[in-house]
Structure formats: C-alpha cells, structure tokens
Chain A
Amino acid sequence: MSRRYPPLAHHFLSLGQQYSAAKLGMWLFLAQEVLFFSGLFMAYAAFRYFYPETFLAAHEHLNVTLGATNTIVLLTSSLTMALAVRAAQLGQNKQLLINLALTFLFATTFLVIKYFEYSHKIHLGLLPGKFYSAHEHIPGQPALFFGLYFVMTGLHGLHVLVGMGVIAWIFIRGLNREFGPEYNTPVEIVGLYWHLVDVIWIFLFPLLYLVK
C-alpha cells in the first residue's frame, strides 16, 4: 500500500498550506515561461511586419502534415497528462503509471517527428543566418524566417525534453507508490508544466506553419 504519511516540510503549518504554496509557485514559474517566450513572439511580429512576403513564401517549405501530426500528438499527451493527475488524485496508482508512460511516449514521438523535420531542413540548407544555403528562391530575408523557426521550435523542444525528465521523475515516484488522494502535488505541478509546453506549441504551429 501507499505510504501512510504524506511529507510535511518543517516550515509549513499544514499540508493545505504546503500544497497551495507549491501550486502558486508553479503558476508564477509558468508566468515566467510565458514572458520568456514572449520575446520570441515579439521578434516574430517585428520580422513578419518587416518582411510579410518572406513569411508567406518561406512557410511553404515547412511540412504542414508533420506539424499537424505533432499538434495532435501533443494535444493527446496533454489529455493523458490530465488523466494521470486525476488518477493520482483518486489514488489509482496503476492508471497513473499507464497515463504517465503514455505521455512520455507521445513526447518522444513529438521529438522524433521534429528530428525528421530538422534533418530535412538541414539537408535543404533552409537554415538560420549565415548557414542559409537553400537553392529555392524565397523573397526577402528567408534566413531570418528559418532563424525564428529553429530558435522557437528549438527552445520549445528543449522544454519538451525537460518535461520528459520530470515526467520520468514522477513516474519513478509513482512506482514507489508515493502519490494518493492525500498527497499528489508533484504530479499536479508537472501536469501544469506539461500543459504550458502544449499551449506554446499551439501558438507556434499556426504562426510558423499556417501563414496566410
């Protein structure tokens, strides 16, 4: 059976206080993440305003099918993550582990697809800045567009990687039966983080792949 006592740190008065502190802390961290990406979105807005024709032409070279598949993969992983949180709250340890494993699997799928997209771009020379060497004619400043593409999706991919790390961490804790109705804060805050990673992609996908 699960451990009977949920851990209460020395400086908190109650588990409720400890739980709401962790949750508020995570929300603040997510706010920080949003502002971190906001710089990139501003750069996107500025360059799209400067070179609309580049964005229109360059986005044709991104693979919409793969991008859309990845969107579905990531959205589904958000669902399994939400189910994992619920399972933890209900004390269904087996469901928790299954859903965490599925989430991890979807995250891996996402990165594998991303890997194929990246290698295709590298092959064609659709690369940022001074590495740009594609033969296709794209008007304006295509090197900037692919700079944005690689920096934005690259930093997002890094967040997916970190997410896989923390999912693995709570999976191991789940194996030790550490979570139940009375204590599941880590599952919940990892869930919050994972949803943010998903939300960022939901903005990246149309901005990069679906320019009209």
Chain B
Amino acid sequence: MNYLTAKKGFKSWLFTLDHKRIGLMYLVAVLSFFFLGGVFALLVRAELWTPAGDMFTADMYNKFFTLHGAIMVFLFIIPSVPASLGNFLIPLMIGAKDVAFPRLNLLSWYIYVLGALFFFYTLLFGSLDTGWTFYTPYSSQTGTSVISATLGAFILGFSSILTGVNFIVTIHKMRAPGLTWGRLPLLIWALYATAVIQVLATPVLAITLLLLVVERAFGIGFFDSTIGGDPVLFQHFFWFYSHPAVYIMILPGFGIISELITVHARKRIFGYNAIAASSVAIAVIGFLVWGHHMFVSGQSSFASMVFSFLTFAVAVPTAIKVFSWVATLYRGSIAFTAPMLYALAFIFLFSIGGLTGIFLGAIAVDVHLHDTYFVVAHFHYVMMGGTVIAFIGGIHHWWPKLFGRMYNEGWARLGCFLIFIGFNLTFFSQFVMGSRGMPRRYHSYVPEYAIWHQLSTIGSLVLGLGLVLTLVYLLHSLFWGKRAPHNPWGGESLEWQAATPPIEFNFTKQPVVTSGPYDFPEIEQDRS
C-alpha cells in the first residue's frame, strides 16, 4: 500500500493531509500554469516574427506579455520547486512522518487555488497590461483589472509565507535522530534558506500590493505624485520583495543541482559546508540589493554605488556553488543520465545568466542595457535556464520515487537536447539584439532586428516542442513505464530508503542517521 493507493476517491485527495499528496497537487497545479504561461509566451513570440505589429493590437500584446510574466512568476516559478518537490521530499529526506503542520500545508494549497481564481477572474474580465511588476503610476491609472490581479498575488503571497513557516519549523524540529545540520542533504539547506526569504520578504510584497489596491480603490495617494506621493516608493517596496524573490526562485534549483551532480557522478559533494553556507549567505545579501533595479529611476548615485557593490557581492557565494559543482564532477564517475544532463545544462545556462547579471549590476553598463532585451535574456537564463531546468531535472531524478515508474531514458535525452538547443536559440538571440538596443515590451520594431527576433521565435518553438515531448513520455511512463527499483540511482539520502512509492507515513520504522547524505559505499571501498 503506497501513498497513492492508500486511500481512494476524489475526496481523499481534496482533504488529504499527506505532504506527498499535497506536493503532487501542487505539481499538477504549477505545471498547468507553466503551460498556460508558455502559451502566452508563444503568442508574444509569434507577434514578433515580423517587424510590423500585424498579429495583435499593441494593447493585446501588452496584455499577453503581462499575463505571461504574472502567471509565470506568481503562479508557477515561486511555488514551483518548494511547494511541489519540496513538500514531497522534505519529510522524506529528514526522516519525518510529515511536515510540522499538515493542516496548514493543505490550507496553503487552498490559498494558492484561491489566488489562482483571482488570476482567472483577471484573465476573463478586464485582463492586465501593467507588466508583472505593477509599476505605478501606470498601474493606478490603467483601465485593466489591476485590483483583482494584485489581490490574487497578495493571496498567493500568504500561501508562500505559510509554506515557508511550515518548512522552517519542519527542518528545525522534525529531523530524525542523528540527522545533524551537517548531515542534511543540500536540497534541504537550500529549501531552508528559501523558506527564510519566503517568510521575511513576502509580507513586504503583501503590504505593497495592498497599498496599491487602496490606491486604486480609494485614491489614497501614497504612490501618486499629484498629491505628494512618490511612485518610486512603489519601486522600492516592490523590489525589496521581488529581488529576494528571485532567490526564492533560484535557491531551490541550486539545491536540486547539488543532489543531482553528486548522486549521478557517484562522488561526495565538493565543499559541503561552503555550499550550505552560501545558500544562507545568498539569502541574507539578497535582501540588500534591491536598488539595482532603480539605477535609472532617479535614485541617488551614492545609493546606486552601494547597491551595485552589494550586487557584485552576491556573485561570490553563487560562484562558490558553481565551482563546487564543477569540482564534484572532476574525477567523478559521471553517468550521463537525463538528470545529469539537466544538471550540466543548468551549470552552462546558469553561468551565462549569472555573469550577465553582473553586467547589469554595473551602473554604467546598466544605463545602456536597461529595459532592453538583454535584461529579458538575462532573466530567462537564470529563471528558465536555471530554475526550470533544475526543476525538470529534479522531476526526472525523483520521478521513480514519486510514482514508482521509470521513464524512457532515450526520449528523456532527446527532450533535454531539444530544450537545451531551443532555449539557447530563443534567448541568446535576445542577448545580441538587446546589446544592440532592441527595447523590451514593444510589439513592432525596426527591420534591422528581424533576423534575431526570427531566430528567437524559431527557438521558442523548438523549446516548446522539447517541453511537450517531455510531458508526453513522462505521462506515458505512468501507465507503461518499467517498475522502478527501490533506489535506481544509488542515492544515500533518506528518501531512497523509503519504499517506492513511499507508504502513507513514509517509513515503517523511525530511521536513525549515522552518516552524511553523500557517503556512497563505493567511495568508502576506494579509500580502504
């Protein structure tokens, strides 16, 4: 009897308190929104095939890129890894029966659904054209349905906060005997750092969006310069959350990559302490860099200098991670399985995304590149090339544990290849046109950029094809895949000791931990 078959019927899912089922419900929800957001992305790319604005009106185009961004950020990528894989894996990896507050966990899922309903309302009635950042003063004036969208994001924020509270308490209080902080899998460290940001940054977004709602509904004027308010104050508030939020998005990806690299290279992770500490360092420094979004918003040049310096400082712990992963690969017994291919793709894409982030953190360069496709490309290299690639890699790695089935390795490699090629074609062209001055958010453009836009659109189709292929063989494996062995990759962390798929309360008897998460037996043999 595993957790999927332990109880039957629709209600057993809707009222479940099992973290594994809640994780799966999140997985289905976030992937559905990934699909929806992806459709809007393809519509945007289709419009940009020709220089003229010939497919949609400018207003329609504004709505499409806004909906793409808002859905991807608030409904997909922020909850993506923590709420789905994190929910599923944290109790298993720390040898607990469940998260600390199972009912709160289910409540977070329902709050998420409620937030999603607000977005559906926005989508159907009035739409949204502010960009996902809701910048004032435009957002307090446009005729689109800003209130329902911001209330939706506000509600989704509370889902995220409650998940964060739950995870921090779970990791502090529910670890199995012998599982010291120094023996925690690095994914747990990453999710811990993420949860800290979720709890401490999200409420600032909540109050910001609430003030925007009050601004629109009652004309309270905090962000309205005609009665003494300050639109730039909105930017400060917004980025105080939304910069840390990009670490909510990427840190769990880092955690997944640490697991994938070490397990599929059969080598103990290089620099465990450094990787664990760098997650926390990124979370802390990440709170102090929000001003790099306002280099051209009239911020004082001294403030810009400080924010620029601190932005560079985040690169240090980030680079420590990348170097540690590469050092782990060195002389490892690398198996080129699909999860490993995704991990390698991650290192390649994230390095580009991270480095271009440094370019944008340099004040003078940013003045040139601000609001161009260069920023769009940078953001997608870290968010899609980073987080989404890690997420897909993680789904492959833990797929056998989630469902007890193996996917087809050949198709998986082909899917990974298509995604990698399609992704680079889509977004590397955007680096080129961005550095040549193509501004973002325009539905028509001068013909000189046509070749780069067309390459990008072709790339987006290849990328979409790769993602659909991946979805198809994964779903296929649920019914016709080979039964998964207990521990297909030879992982040493606790989740691989549970049954496949795990039973309802995870372990038949309380696990006791006596060694680190990456002490693979063959390494011990090598040493002796």
Contacts and interface: CB of A to CB of B under 8 A. Distances in A.
B207 A128 contact: no
B173 A130 contact: no
B172 A32 contact: no
A37 B224 CA distance: 21
Nearest to A40: B207
Question: Would you call the interface of chain A mostly helix, strand, loop, or mixed?
Answer: helix
A35 B227 contact: no
Contacts of B92: none
B472 interface: no
A29 B165 contact: yes
Contacts of B199: 28, 31-32
A113 interface: no
Given A11-B505, A24-B172, A128 B101 contact: no
Interface stretch (B214-222, B408-416, B477-485): B214-222
A35 B158 CA distance: 13
Interface stretch (A87-95, A102-110, A136-144, A167-175): A136-144
B95 to A, nearest CB: 11
Given A36-B206, A37-B207, A28 B165 contact: yes
A6 interface: no
A51 interface: yes
B17 to A, nearest CB: 9
Interface stretch (B123-131, B228-236, B265-273, B303-311): B228-236
B220 A147 contact: yes
Count class of interface residues, chain B:
35 or more
B165 A32 contact: yes
Given A10-B97, A33-B203, A151-B211, A129 B168 contact: no
Contacts, number: 112
Interface in A1-31: 9-11, 13, 17, 20-21, 24-25, 28-29, 31
B250 interface: no
Nearest to B102: A11
A40 B203 CA distance: 11
Interface string A27-61: 01101110111111011001100110000000000
Contacts of B99: 11
A51 B228 contact: yes
B235 to A, nearest CB: 12
B174 A32 contact: no
Interface in A127-167: 128-131, 140-141, 143-144, 147, 151
A39 B233 CA distance: 10
Given A42-B237, A129-B227, A28 B201 contact: no
B208 A151 contact: no
Residue with the highest number of chain B CB atoms closer than 10 Å, among A20, A21, A35, A51: A35
B203 A36 contact: yes
Contacts of A17: 173-174
Contacts of A24: 168-169, 172-173
B162 to A, nearest CB: 9
A109 to B, nearest CB: 27
Given A25-B101, A36-B203, A39-B207, A144 B229 contact: yes
Contacts of B218: 128-131
B222 A144 contact: yes
5 contacts: A10-B505, A11-B100, A42-B236, A144-B227, A151-B211
Given A17-B174, A43-B233, 15 more contacts: A11-B98, A21-B100, A25-B165, A28-B199, A31-B199, A31-B200, A32-B161, A32-B199, A33-B203, A36-B206, A39-B204, A51-B228, A129-B219, A143-B221, A147-B221
Please list the 6 inter-chain residue pairs (A to B) with the smallest Cβ-Cβ separation, ordered nearest first: A141-B228, A39-B207, A36-B203, A11-B98, A130-B219, A11-B97
Interface of A: 9-11, 13, 17, 20-21, 24-25, 28-29, 31-33, 35-40, 42-43, 46-47, 50-51, 128-131, 140-141, 143-144, 147, 151
